[in-house]
Amino acid sequence: MAINKNKKIASELSVTEKQVQVTINLLEEGGTVPFIARYRKEMTGSLDEVQVAAIRDRNQQLVELEKRKEAILKSMTEMEKLTPELEKQILEAETMTLLEDIYLPFKPKRKTKASVAREKGLQKLADFVMEQHSSDIESEALKYINDEKGVLTIDDALAGARDILAEFMAEHPEMRGKMRELFLNSGTFHSKLIKGKELEGQKYKDYFDWSEAVKTAPSHRILALRRAEKEIILTLDIEVPEEDAQYLLESFFVIGTNAASEQVRQAAADAFKRLLKPSMETEIRLLTKKQADTEAIRVFADNARQLLLAAPVGQKRIMAIDPGFRTGCKLVILDEQGQLIENTNIYPHNGNESSKEAEKTIRYLVDKYKIEAIAIGNGTAGRETETFVRGMKISDLIVVMVNESGASIYSASEVAREEFPDKDITVRGAVSIGRRLMDPLAELVKIDPKSIGVGQYQHDVDQNQLQTSLDDTVISCVNSIGVELNTASKQILAYISGLGPQLAQNIVEYRNKNGAFKRRNDLKKIPRLGDKAFEQAAGFLRIRNAEHPLDSSAVHPERYVLVEQMAKDLNCTLEDLMKDDQLRKRIKLQNYISETVGLPTLNDILSELAKPGLDPREQFEAFSFSDGINAITDLYVGMTLPGIITNITAFGAFVDIGVHQDGLVHLSQMSNKFIKDPNEVVKVSQKVMVKVTEVDVARKRIALTMKTEERPAPRPRPVEQARPQATKPQAPAPKPILRANKVESDEPQSDLAIKLAALKGKFL
């Protein structure tokens, strides 16, 4: 009986089977995650984006599992090895690992010791030994001596029989499951420095002689160890107590104390050392790598989301400076829409005369273009340039250091060349810095999310999984905010639900040719943008000052008639309804419930009418680093500094304190109370106050703390004639009940398995 996919997904994700089936149907019909979560709440039971994406991903995994089952069934049928019992096991397998374990004994493979022994006719001798009935195994082995087949002695015959038994034990599904559990629960990672690699591997110094349990090793450490192994700095092994592995095998396969049992015991030892240990080590390495990838990608995606949704300064006239020492600083002027107006070079760090000229240029351009904010890249010469600009004391002007990670990648990209074909990469980089201050999301979507500087080990994890996760994150961010249809770049439009690069390009070309869009319905005039794409995209596209009032909101066009009916029932216009809170309070939502529209959608509409097109991002707050602290050598233990969270990992958070080297606040130093996850306390781009606890100039490491000094609680004043309070005795905690977990398989795998099952009094 095949797995009920919907039931399994529903159980795993704590939703109903109906929700799973409806979501899968919507996805198969071309629905996107943001659209389904935002505009199909009645159908899905108000599942959010995370739940919809989880259903999508788990369904895909189970689809792949079913495809693999079909391939295995076909293969075993062609080999004439498929029995009703095996078919049942295969169809009921719930994981890819179990499925491959079932198939392993029958999987076509290259020549092995066991296959050679079978070719010599020793299978029946192996069966005889496994029965473990007799001590006179030599007499039985004597029957199989055959010079032509290369079985010259009794020892040769028994050795071949043991090879067959060892392979049988190593491929037994239940034994593999038990051995896998042993490696996961009792296995230990061991890393050792490769001789002569001390200097080259200093960044891995902590792992030169390292041991850690497999089940507790954190993802970042596993990835670091694997990277060091790949760079041929360390060796990495997984070990389990050999006596435990041997006991596991013997307790399962050895059922007597005679000579035949001793042969089985020897075969078990060989099965572990030669076959099971290497196989399990490979499996556990892959499994822990997969788990580490998943965790690292989750952290990366969370960081990317926080950075993408960082507060924008908004539509202001910006001066952006890409700092430099010898080559000077590239300065650009951007208008309120982020368009380049002017660019020039200044040299504030090249001597007194150059400094005066730079100040003169800045003051002139600030006055000429009525500049409202100055964005300064945080790379080389960033702090020095910031100090220079702040020292000018220009009033009513925001000066902000901007994280320029990935700006150089954008400036050399095809996107930048297309946008600024006649400008060099330094100008493009400065423009990117300014636009990041204006609207981080709109600018960061132009570069590969892996290059925005908020991940760890992004080049070590599964690249397809990483790309899928980051794409989901960017799509979620873009659609949660919505974009202005008449000013959005094709890069950000491409992330809108239902569009993609080609339709985004078509929209921009149509806009350039025909002018600004006046109504959402004009999207239907775009080449190749059909009804389905319009349905998916329209609600996430905004048109400021549109002909239809709702076109500036997140209300979907499919609900315009409903909102117009609300206004009609109140005898007012749509504009009145959107402006007047008292009118909206008179709306009786129950009157508008139908088969397709319920309270979730109606409440969303009401919220959107109150604040149409509201940007959900936080309000921008200016920030500045401590004056005079520009390099790691300026730091000393005990000093307190303002900083900005630049990256969050499982073990802590990195903080930019303005010295060109981020400091680390370890998880244990993030709060006075115990926390499991840094995200409980901080987020990317958050402003924090930190104290320096350690400075290692040679290794460029800065340790910080966010803990506050705890003052001792005041001593209680004595209370006169205080009476002792009776306390109720607490019952002792119950002792834990230990139970052994036992997993049994009730299907025969081969003639040898049937004989073993009979001997053990159970089916294997």
Of 305, 334, 353, the domain-final residue: 305
- Are residues 370 and 431 located together in one domain of the fold? yes
- Are residues 50 and 119 located together in one domain of the fold? no
Contact of 697 with 680, CB cutoff 8 Å: no
750 lies in a domain?
Answer: no
The CATH number of residue 209's host domain is 1.10.3500.10
Cβ neighbours, 10 Å, residue 12:
12
Say which residues have a Cβ less than 8 Å from residue 686's Cβ, sequence separation at least 6.
Answer: 644, 645
231 lies in a domain?
Answer: yes
How many structural domains does the chain have? 4
Q: Name the token pair of 120.
A: 């010599």
Condensed to tens digits (0 to 9), the pLDDT of residues 261-274 reads 999 999 999 999 99
The backbone torsions φ and ψ at residue 542, rounded to the nearest 5 degrees and listed phi first, read -110, 145
133 lies in a domain?
Answer: yes
Report the distance separating Cα 138 and Cα 144, nearest Å. 10
Contact of 460 with 503, CB cutoff 8 Å: no
- Are residues 429 and 406 located together in one domain of the fold? yes
pLDDT interval class at 291 (50, 70, 90) = very high
The CATH number of residue 636's host domain is 2.40.50.140
Of 705, 735, 755, the domain-final residue: 705
- 3-class secondary structure, 663: strand
Q: In the chain, pLDDT over 70 holds for what percent of residues?
A: 93
Question: What's the mean pLDDT in 640-666?
Answer: 90
Q: Which has the minimum average pLDDT: 653-662, 710-719, 738-747?
A: 738-747
Report the distance separating Cα 50 and Cα 34, nearest Å. 10
**pLDDT of residue 722 exceeding 60:** no
- Are residues 138 and 247 located together in one domain of the fold? yes
Condensed to tens digits (0 to 9), the pLDDT of residues 339-363 reads 999 999 999 999 889 999 999 999 9
- Are residues 299 and 330 located together in one domain of the fold? no
761 lies in a domain?
Answer: no
76 lies in a domain?
Answer: yes
DSSP 257-323: SSHHHHHHHHHHHHIIIIIIHHHHHHHHHHHHHHHHHHHHHHHHHHHHHHHHTPPP--S--EEEEE-
Contact of 473 with 305, CB cutoff 8 Å: yes
173 lies in a domain?
Answer: yes
- Give the HSE-up count for residue 696: Cα atoms under 13 Å, Cβ half-sphere: 10
pLDDT interval class at 2 (50, 70, 90) = low
Of 685, 705, 725, the domain-final residue: 705
- Are residues 102 and 119 located together in one domain of the fold? no
- Are residues 185 and 290 located together in one domain of the fold? yes
- Are residues 258 and 132 located together in one domain of the fold? yes
Q: Which has the minimum average pLDDT: 51-60, 317-326, 643-652, 707-716?
A: 707-716
**pTM reported for the whole predicted model:** 0.80
59-78: b (≥16 Cβ within 10 Å) or e: beebeebeebbeebbeebee
748 lies in a domain?
Answer: no
Contact of 662 with 627, CB cutoff 8 Å: no
- Are residues 102 and 120 located together in one domain of the fold? no
Question: What's the mean pLDDT in 378-407?
Answer: 89
- Are residues 264 and 394 located together in one domain of the fold? no
Q: In 657-736, where do the E strands start and end?
A: 663-666, 687-696, 701-705
The CATH number of residue 431's host domain is 3.30.420.140
Burial class (CB in 10 A: 0-12, 13-18, 19+), 633: exposed
Report the distance separating Cα 272 and Cα 178, nearest Å. 12
Range of the domain at 24: 5-106
Report the distance separating Cα 624 and Cα 643, nearest Å. 8
541-573: b (≥16 Cβ within 10 Å) or e: bbbeebebbbbbbbbbbebbebbeebbeeeeee
Q: Which amino acid is at 695?
A: V
The CATH number of residue 50's host domain is 1.10.10.650
- Are residues 220 and 357 located together in one domain of the fold? no
570 lies in a domain?
Answer: no
What 8-state DSSP symbol labels residue 688?
E
3-state helix, strand, coil in the chain (%, to 5): 50, 10, 35
**pLDDT of residue 235 exceeding 90:** yes
- Are residues 86 and 125 located together in one domain of the fold? no
Contact of 651 with 371, CB cutoff 8 Å: no
> What mean pLDDT, rounded, does the chain reach?
88
Q: Which has the minimum average pLDDT: 20-24, 114-118, 674-678, 735-739?
A: 735-739
Q: Name the token pair of 577.
A: 């309804």
Say which residues have a Cβ less than 8 Å from residue 161's Cβ, sequence separation at least 6.
Answer: 117, 122, 125, 126, 128, 129, 141, 263, 267
